[in-house]
């Protein structure tokens, strides 16, 4: 089902019949993807007056309580309130939900004991393209990303000048398949977060970072329409479900 839309000054055809989900779900299993030194999320039926509210155990409804941290347990989208004293709500800052995006694949570079994504790599991937969003798939790209336990593993991260470059290109939405755009242990500097959100100048309140995505190898690099869906939490971050749609130019 091809639909033609007017996006800014461009007319684009989008294939709405084939949504490409790039989110990692939150489960109640120990194998749930994890970072930042927390245990797994919990999804359990509530108990009221000694009765477990589960159809399997005789109740008329299922009534689960879910305990999780959006930053640790799955795909999430965050606003600058993640790193500022004033907590800016993702529910208030993200007010548009469709964006022209570029999917790029990057093989991280070795830098000392780290693996990093550099400005040069992103410049090569984006070139002169004007995009609202960038979706970064890192190599190797296996389904282990659905269950990897990242704490104390020093995952790949973005260099500060790479985030500065994306800001200079006016990329508003940065999506990546890692637990953070910054180094796991960086003494609180958060260089990439700060650079992308321009915390030394006018805050980019309409810019977001989405972490813990998974971009299937079946999805080719190139242009897509991104539907960035969040849950309406009044919090610096929310679980999210980014969906890509192929663009036929």
Mean per-residue pLDDT, 21-38: 98
pLDDT tens-digit readout, 175-216: 999 999 999 999 999 999 999 999 999 999 999 999 999 999
Q: Of 100, 82, 89, 240, which is closest to residue 176 (Cα–Cα)?
A: 240
* Cα–Cα distance for residue pair 197/211, rounded to 1 Å: 15
pLDDT tens-digit readout, 45-97: 999 999 999 999 999 999 999 999 999 999 999 999 999 999 899 999 999 99
pLDDT tens-digit readout, 130-166: 999 999 999 999 999 999 999 999 999 999 999 999 9
Alpha carbons within 13 A on the beta-carbon side of 208: 31
| Cα four-point dihedral sign 162, 204, 207, 237 | positive
CB 105 within 8 A of CB 221: yes
* Cα–Cα distance for residue pair 29/31, rounded to 1 Å: 5
Q: How far is CA 184 from CA 35, 69, 138, 145, 154, in A?
A: 9, 17, 17, 17, 6
* Cα–Cα distance for residue pair 35/109, rounded to 1 Å: 22
User: Residue 2's pLDDT is what?
Assistant: 79
Please state whether 125 falls in left (phi above 0), alpha (psi between -120 and 50) or beta. Answer: alpha
Confidence label for 23 from pLDDT (cuts 50, 70 and 90):
very high
User: Residue 6's pLDDT is what?
Assistant: 78
Domains, the chain, with CATH or none: 2-24+70-248 (3.50.30.50)
In percent, the amount of the chain with pLDDT more than 70 equals: 100
The DSSP 8-state label assigned to residue 149 in this structure reads B
User: Residue 8's pLDDT is what?
Assistant: 77
Residue 248 has pLDDT above 90, yes or no: no
């Amino acid at each position: 089902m091809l639909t033609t839309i007017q996006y800014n000054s461009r007319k684009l055809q989008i294939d709405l019949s084939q949504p490409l989900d790039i989110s990692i779900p939150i489960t109640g299993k120990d194998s749930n993807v994890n970072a930042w030194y927390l245990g797994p999320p919990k999804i359990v039926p509530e108990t009221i007056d000694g009765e477990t509210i589960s159809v399997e155990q005789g109740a008329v409804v299922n009534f689960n309580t879910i305990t999780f941290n959006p930053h640790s347990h799955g795909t999430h989208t965050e606003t600058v309130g993640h790193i500022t004293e004033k907590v800016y709500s993702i529910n208030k800052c993200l007010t548009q939900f469709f964006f022209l995006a570029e999917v790029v694949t990057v093989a991280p570079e070795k830098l000392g004991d780290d693996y990093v994504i550099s400005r040069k790599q992103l410049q090569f991937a984006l070139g002169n393209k004007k995009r609202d969003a960038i979706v970064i798939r890192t190599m190797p790209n296996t389904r282990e990303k659905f269950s990897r336990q990242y704490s104390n593993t020093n995952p790949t991260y973005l260099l500060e000048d790479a985030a500065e470059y994306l800001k200079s290109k006016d990329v508003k939405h940065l999506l990546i398949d890692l637990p953070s755009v910054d180094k796991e242990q960086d003494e609180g500097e958060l260089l990439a977060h700060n650079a992308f959100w321009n915390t030394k100048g006018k805050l980019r309140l309409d810019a977001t970072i989405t972490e813990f995505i998974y971009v299937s190898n079946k999805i080719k690099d190139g242009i897509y329409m991104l539907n960035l869906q969040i849950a309406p939490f009044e919090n610096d971050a929310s679980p999210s479900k980014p969906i890509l749609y192929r663009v036929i130019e």
